[in-house]
Amino acid sequence: MLLNFESILISHGFTPDRYDFESTIIGFDYDLHISLFDSHTCFDVDKCSTYRQWNQPNEYLRADLITLTGDVDAGIQFFYQRWCTELRYQNPVREVIDVQRLKQSAAIHVLTVSQHNAMTLLFNIK
């Protein structure tokens, strides 16, 4: 099921003419690299990529994450642990984390909204 994060952003007052999504995308991209690709990561840093998608309101930032061992469940757990401890807004007004687990991969769609900021992300884990 494809979630319509754009309509949720709009309902919270986050539109491109009223909010600087570009700065938020750049900041989140930086934060992802710091929190997901450190020396304790379960991801193969050389094979992972992030994409800033300025015109994709349902997934402004996409990360393709390849695990070192092929253990997708470990990748999901690692992501979720880092999301809760390092990436999420401290006091989110709205947060949606939708995990779609397939045989050999997972897609995690995230919407996070705080009082002053908002972001949509897609994490593809293999």
Domain spans, the chain: 20-90
What is the average per-residue pLDDT within 88-112? Answer: 95
Residue with tokens 């709205």: 94
User: Does position 54 have pLDDT exceeding 80, yes or no?
Assistant: yes
Q: Under a CB-based contact definition with an 8 Å cutoff, are residues 71 and 82 in contact?
A: no
How far apart (Å, rounded) are the C-alpha atoms in residues 24 and 102? 30
How far apart (Å, rounded) are the C-alpha atoms in residues 18 and 13? 8
Least confident range from 2-16, 17-31, 95-109: namely 2-16
Report the relative pairing of strands 61-65 and 118-125 from DSSP bridges: parallel
How far is CA 78 from its chain centroid?
A: 13
Query: Hey, what are 62's tokens?
Result: 């996409």
